[in-house]
Amino acid sequence: MKSEESPLFMAGKTLKGKRTQFKAGMAPWNKGIPYQAGGRSEATRFAPGNVPHTWHPIGHHRHSKEGYLQIKISDTGVTYRDYVPAHHLLWRMHGLTVPPGHALVFRDGDKDHIDINNLELIQRAELLRRNSVHRHGPEIARISQLIGCINRQLRQKEESQNA
């Protein structure tokens, strides 16, 4: 059995590593020696004032993965804090707020139609109902349930064949 695999080693009771550890009051070998970077180190350092190529100024517009137009309103370096949906900004400009448990939605469903008359504040429960399969009627809801049942049976059959 190797010493690294012994119970003493696993419990941290060996002296093998202790011999090379720094103790209180010890100084490193290079204490007081000035650092001299070699090669192109100084020329390639990230200098103060430089910004990454992905940086954008405040006021920059972009579309999120979900398709919402977003505007950069701050420059904290944290993207999800810096960008705010444009329809939320419009809502705030009219002196309105989005209270907890509510969502701001587009009445016509077009995320590019940003107009105060096209915005509607609804409860999250209503948003769930609107995005549910049941909004299409009982026939479509029943078909969706049957598709789920068929998919479950197919998965169970595959699992039993693979086992």
Q: What is the pLDDT of residues 101-112, one digit of tens each?
A: 999 999 999 999
Amino acid symbol at 97: T
pLDDT at 18: 75
Average pLDDT over residues 31-47: 86
Q: How confident is the model at residue 48 (pLDDT cuts 50, 70, 90)?
A: confident
Kindly give the residue spans of alpha helices, DSSP state H, lying in 58-137.
79-82, 86-93, 124-130
Q: Is the pLDDT of residue 137 over 80?
A: yes
Picking from 53, 58, 49, the residue whose alpha carbon sits closest to that of residue 76 is: 58
Picking from 46, 50, 70, 69, the residue whose alpha carbon sits closest to that of residue 58 is: 70
Evaluate if pTM is beyond 0.75: no
Picking from 73, 68, 81, 42, the residue whose alpha carbon sits closest to that of residue 56 is: 73
Q: CB of 133 within 8 A of CB of 145? A: no
Give SS3 for 153.
helix
Domain ranges of the chain: 61-127, 132-163
Q: CB of 114 within 8 A of CB of 69? A: yes
What are the backbone angles phi and psi of residue 3, rounded to the nearest 5°?
-65, -30
Picking from 81, 84, 127, 82, the residue whose alpha carbon sits closest to that of residue 104 is: 127
Name the percent of the chain in helix, strand, coil, to the closest 5: 35, 10, 50
pLDDT at 11: 66
DSSP state of 71: E
- Listed in sequence order, the residues at least 6 apart from 108 whose beta carbon sits closer than 8 Å to its beta carbon are 118
